Structure 1
Amino acid sequence: MAYGGEGAAVEGLSAIKTAFSNALSMPVEVLVARDYPALIESHLDGRIDYAIYTAPAYAAASIRCACLRPVAAPVGIDGSFGLRSVLIVRPAESDTAPKSIAVGPDDSLATRLAPLASWPGAADALGAGRFVPTETAGEAEAMFLSGAVDAYFGWVPAAPEPGDGSLSGGSIDRLAAAGVDASAFEITWHSALLRYGPHAVRNTLPQEQVEALQRLLTGVVADPDLNYYLERRHGGGFAIAAQEDYQPVIEALGAVGKAMPANSASPTE
């Protein structure tokens, strides 16, 4: 895992090692990489068999080597399997292309990379200089709230399927908390599901061991302490994941390096 720098202490280390050793019927060791590039190198080189990734880190590793497979991925306490990027616009702009759209920082999956890769209007907006780059997703939201931009890319937690088509949580809840009435904005586009980052193995691992790991992870919600140690951010346990679940994230990484043109819209124009 990439966790707090190389050699950092891992909370619950003994419980984690015991759980995985029992599941696999063999001793295991837990190694801490200094960052995700180091984790990826170790996994691709075969120095480690199992790694815990963010979605972009797993996509980056998959692009470099078709030698990995997801085992399972976290589930949110709200039942979400990941995020969807959403385009939030003012009602007056919903039938026309927004003149200015705030996007998140270069490395933001939901507020920059996924929209640039999959929003149908991205190429035209990029060419016309209608994107307004920001340093944080919060800054993009603040620009929309202040009227500095006509639209921005936000995010919502999402189940595997949109269900009845309604979207909630995430940026929508943040707008409500800021006192914005639901009639004051519309969502005109949402991305495919951007799954939370997986626990993954090399695809040479025997299938029976993969299944043992899947049983461990999908059952971990029954052990609150172990669930917390393995995934304290989302808290809802794990669900089995497959390589195709990360295709939208892999495609989104293709947007890395897309520069904003020099004449990009600014809040003063």
Structure 2
Amino acid sequence: MLWAGTAKADYRDSIAVLRIGLVETHVAATDPIKLEAIEHAFSGALGIPVEIIKLGSYAALIDAHASGRVGYAIHSARSFAATEAACGCVRAFRSPVAADGSTGFRSVLVARDSVTLPVAELKVGYSSEASISGWQIPHQAMRAGSLDLPKLVRAGSVGSVIELYQAGEIDGFFGWLPDVPGDAGSDPERLFGGWNRAAIETADPVRIIWSSQRIPYGPHAANRSLPDDLVEALGAFLDQMAVSAPGLLDIFEPVYGGGYVTPDPEEYHNIRGLVEALSDRKSAARIP
């Protein structure tokens, strides 16, 4: 009868404290009251102490997660892909849903509906080399040969891209569209998530002439060393947050307000390609 008095072991027997990594640009990271509310809520739901670790950049977050100094982190899509490429030690268990129902985005090339030139002859604006949707994904497609190289015009910002388009100085531009499950995702009125829609509409109508594959929003990821039942408990808590603690959801997920979904592990493959390409270029630059 010894088995009758033996409690089933779970993560509370092996995890003394769960450390959650946040970059300092996260809204909650600058407010001690919000950080305390997050720690208290997670600790109460999980039954173990929780500590928020603030990191100065996504590079620092990648290092902290890959080294195991934090067990759970909120990543951008690219920082997750970089962490997975660095150590193979993290798994995405939830990704956020935006208020419009989108769970990711697609990079797109749009051009004036009245312009029928081939892509190679178009003057195409882009914001800057730092933009994933506005440069890095299209640039990868151009390097791979799946998108012809147009005549590129660097604008410096999305606002400047739109101004160039309004002034008739470019034929089109790179942007992004939110990707909603089950939606065709081809409505130009939703460019940049609807941001500055009025300014775009004052110029000539646009049509989409190229679209990337879907890129999911940045995930919530756990180090693979965390017990499965802890990761399941974290996922369940996030799933219930929109109903059980909507105020906490506003603090913890300030950009996306539609709750969470379970991502496909392969969904970040395209972003990993960007990370690996960047790593290869840095390595090549160090070769004398």
With the length of structure 1 as denominator, give the TM-score of the two structures: 0.83
Q: Name the stretch that deviates more: 72-81 or 94-103.
A: 94-103
Map of 2:267 onto structure 1: 245
Q: Which runs of 5+ in 1 are unaligned?
A: 260-269
Map of 1:147 onto structure 2: 168
Q: In the alignment, does 2:40 pair up with 1:18? A: yes
Q: How does 1:193-232 map to 2 (within 5 A)?
A: 193-222=214-243, 223-232=245-254
- 1:128-176 CA distance string (max 9 Å, x none): x712223212222221221111110011212134447546423484564
Q: Is the 8 A contact 2:178 2:185 kept in 1?
A: no
Whole-Å separation in 2 of the counterparts to 1:11 and 1:73: 25
**SS of equivalent to 2:91:** strand
**SS of equivalent to 2:51:** coil
With the length of structure 2 as denominator, give the TM-score of the two structures: 0.78
- 1:31-67 CA distance string (max 9 Å, x none): 1111111111111111110111111222222222211
Whole-Å separation in 1 of the counterparts to 2:185 and 2:170: 30
Whole-Å separation in 1 of the counterparts to 2:70 and 2:103: 26
Map of 2:10 onto structure 1: none
Map of 1:37 onto structure 2: 59
Of structures 1 and 2, the one with the larger relative CO (CA 8 A, separation 6+) is 1
Q: 1:94 to 1:204 in 2, by over 3 A?
A: farther
- Which of 111, 130, 136 is the matching residue for 1:89? 111
Whole-Å separation in 1 of the counterparts to 2:247 and 2:172: 42
Q: Is the 8 A contact 1:116 1:252 kept in 2?
A: no
Q: Is the 8 A contact 1:107 1:256 kept in 2?
A: no
Q: Is the 8 A contact 2:74 2:221 kept in 1?
A: yes
Whole-Å separation in 2 of the counterparts to 1:258 and 1:177: 41
- Which of 121, 126, 144 is the matching residue for 1:103? 126
Map of 2:9 onto structure 1: none
- Which of 120, 124, 135 is the matching residue for 1:112? 135
- Which of 72, 88, 101 is the matching residue for 1:66? 88
Q: Which runs of 5+ in 2 are unaligned?
A: 1-21, 282-288
Which has the larger Rg? 2
Map of 1:2 onto structure 2: 23
Whole-Å separation in 2 of the counterparts to 1:258 and 1:100: 29
